[in-house]
């Protein structure tokens, strides 16, 4: 189904006798730190849809924050691997049987089969929000049998989805090549324009484009609270520059190489590294940092701080205090190579330059607004040299200042206020 080009006017939900259209969105995340789904469901709720977001509660999951849409987390015994996916899919399907909806949406492939089957049983449309190319993520691509299973699921699901969209043009094109005749829309994973942008009216329209339900007041400008004003210069509160990584601590994120580079970097740029997130490599990375002497409490040079999971609001505050954002990936699968990570835009919105991998989507965006120093590989010597260019003598240099100024311009365009109309147009078309 071709997708409509978006306008800034907010599309309204299709008329339903006596009630708004009801949407159920399902994901394997615990919902607390999934900012894309929070923005998506918040915008849909603000547009008049009745939205329920379903996720999975893990042992370490924090409580849910109030949102303008319903939230429910399933519980189970399995934590990872085949048993987790089997249990999650079974529990999700039986939970969906207790719900009613006009559109059933899967956020990624690992929740798609129960959503599609529930839609089929009820005679309603099914939607697929592809955050990544799931059969090509590093955890899957190295296991041929598992990869074949997920590729079969993708081949089965995509032609049966009335609503299809993903996070970037490159992934949309790749999906189009894999599934001719079934185009994908693009809703980029960008943050809300900062409070500073909103206060000045500076965000610019795009040229085209057991958990109970909770509610919160929605501002007129957007369905979610805007983040804090972006950082304009190196914070004077810290003696050393702060490098910030936010995201999963999984394979292929360049974190092991970055840790290896820090002792070499300390001789020229005495930076501190804040790592926000957890993942499969959490223990391994902490052990590596300890082995390199980077966790010593008395050390202020090259020190690494593992912050664990950080709630979105606190993460925005921390990002605004950072000096350089870290956006590194290995070319270990098509999903990473054609990715468009939310952290890239989060750093821009905070006004901080970033060290970024030279992959197609980031290269194209950097050609539009030079906000990042692109690196061709993740060799520790490459990372050290690049950071030394950004922070000669441990302070922001001319290149850093130019990138920071470009962030201030780019953030006016790369914001959720411009992506939201695209999202709403896609949903209105799917329910028409």
* Burial tier of 145 (Cβ tally within 10 Å: 0-12, 13-18, 19+): exposed
> 326-352, pLDDT tens digit by residue?
999 999 889 999 999 999 999 999 999
CATH of 242-410, one of 3.40.50.2000, 3.40.50.2300, 3.40.50.720, 2.30.110.10: 3.40.50.2000
pLDDT at 74: 96
Strands 50-56 and 70-74: parallel
H/E element, 13: none
126/112 Cα distance (integer angstroms)? 9
Query: How confident is the model at residue 193, as a pLDDT?
Result: 87
Domains 22-226+415-431 and 242-410 fall in the same CATH topology: yes
Contacts of 118 (CB under 8 A, 6+ apart): 93, 96, 97, 99, 101, 104
* pTM, full prediction: 0.84
The structural domains of the chain, with segments of one domain joined by +, span 22-226+415-431, 242-410
Neighbour-count burial of 153, counting CB atoms closer than 10 A to its CB (0-12 exposed, 13-18 middle, 19+ buried): middle
Q: DSSP 3-state assignment of 222?
A: coil
- Give the distance from CA 295 to its chain's centroid: 28
Q: How far is CA 223 from CA 45, 72, 93, 247, 301, in A?
A: 8, 20, 29, 24, 42
Percent of residues in the chain assigned helix, strand, coil, to nearest 5: 40, 15, 45
Name which of 410, 407, 426 is nearest 204 in CA terms.
410
pLDDT in tens, the chain (432 residues): 333 333 344 555 554 566 899 999 999 999 998 989 999 999 999 999 999 999 999 888 889 999 999 999 999 998 888 899 999 999 999 999 999 999 999 999 999 999 999 999 999 999 999 999 999 988 888 899 999 999 999 999 999 999 999 999 999 999 999 999 999 999 999 999 866 565 444 545 554 433 433 323 223 334 444 444 445 444 444 468 999 999 999 999 999 999 999 999 988 888 999 999 998 899 999 999 999 999 866 455 558 999 999 988 899 999 999 999 999 999 988 999 999 999 999 999 999 999 999 999 999 999 999 999 999 999 999 999 999 999 998 899 999 999 999 999 999 999 999 999 999 999 999 999
Q: How far is CA 163 from the centre of its chain?
A: 20
**234 contacts 323 by C-beta, under 8 angstroms:** yes
Residue 107's pLDDT is 96
List the strands of the sheet with 126-130, edge to edge. 70-74, 50-56, 22-26, 103-107, 126-130, 163-166, 185-186
Q: What is the pLDDT of residue 297?
A: 63
Q: Which tens digits make up the pLDDT trace of 46-102?
A: 999 999 999 999 888 889 999 999 999 999 998 888 899 999 999 999 999 999 999
Query: Which residues have C-beta within 8 Å of that of residue 271, sequence separation ≥ 6?
Result: 240, 241, 242, 243, 262, 265, 302, 323, 324, 387, 391, 394
Taking domain 22-226+415-431, whether its CATH number is 3.40.50.2000 is answered by yes
The pLDDT, as a whole number, for residue 213 is 34
Ordered alpha helix ranges (H), 322-411? 334-337, 342-350, 360-368, 380-390, 398-410
């Amino acid at each position: 189904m071709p997708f409509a080009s978006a306008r800034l006017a907010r599309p309204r939900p299709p008329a339903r006798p006596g009630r708004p259209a009801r949407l159920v969105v399902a994901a394997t995340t615990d919902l607390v730190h999934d900012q894309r789904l929070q923005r998506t469901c918040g915008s849909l709720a603000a547009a008049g849809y009745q939205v329920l977001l379903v996720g999975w509660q893990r042992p370490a999951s924090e409580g849910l924050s109030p949102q303008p849409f319903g939230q429910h987390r399933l519980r189970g015994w399995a934590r990872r691997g085949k048993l987790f996916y089997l249990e999650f899919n079974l529990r999700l399907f039986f939970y969906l049987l207790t719900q009613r909806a006009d559109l059933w949406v899967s956020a990624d492939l690992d929740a798609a089969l129960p959503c599609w089957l529930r839609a089929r049983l009820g005679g309603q449309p099914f939607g697929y929000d592809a955050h990544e190319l799931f059969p090509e993520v590093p955890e899957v691509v190295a296991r041929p049998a598992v990869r074949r299973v997920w590729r079969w699921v993708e081949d089965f699901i995509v032609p049966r989805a009335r609503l299809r969209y993903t996070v970037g043009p490159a992934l949309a094109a790749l999906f189009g090549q894999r599934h001719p005749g079934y185009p994908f829309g693009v809703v980029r994973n960008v943050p809300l324009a900062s409070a500073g942008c909103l206060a000045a009216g500076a965000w610019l329209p795009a040229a085209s484009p057991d958990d109970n339900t909770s509610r919160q007041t929605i501002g007129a400008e957007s369905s979610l609270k805007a983040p804090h004003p972006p950082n304009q210069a190196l914070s004077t509160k810290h003696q050393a520059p702060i490098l910030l990584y936010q995201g999963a601590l999984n394979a292929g994120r360049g974190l092991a190489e970055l840790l290896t580079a820090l002792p070499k970097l300390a001789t020229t740029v005495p930076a501190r590294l804040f790592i926000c997130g957890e993942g499969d490599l959490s223990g391994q990375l902490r052990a590596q940092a300890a082995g390199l002497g980077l966790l010593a409490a008395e050390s202020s040079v090259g020190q690494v701080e593992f912050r664990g999971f950080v709630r979105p609001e606190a993460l925005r505050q921390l990002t605004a205090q950072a000096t350089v954002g870290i956006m590194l990936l290995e070319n270990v699968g098509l999903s990473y190579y054609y990715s468009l990570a939310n952290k890239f835009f989060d750093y821009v919105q905070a006004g901080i330059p970033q060290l970024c991998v030279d992959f197609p989507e980031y290269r194209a965006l950097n050609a539009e607004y030079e906000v990042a120093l692109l690196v061709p590989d993740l060799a520790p010597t490459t990372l050290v040299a690049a950071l030394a260019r950004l922070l000669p003598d441990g302070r922001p240099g001319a290149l850093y200042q130019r990138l920071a100024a470009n962030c201030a311009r780019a953030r006016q365009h790369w914001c959720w206020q411009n992506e939201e109309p695209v999202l709403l147009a896609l949903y209105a078309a799917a329910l028409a």
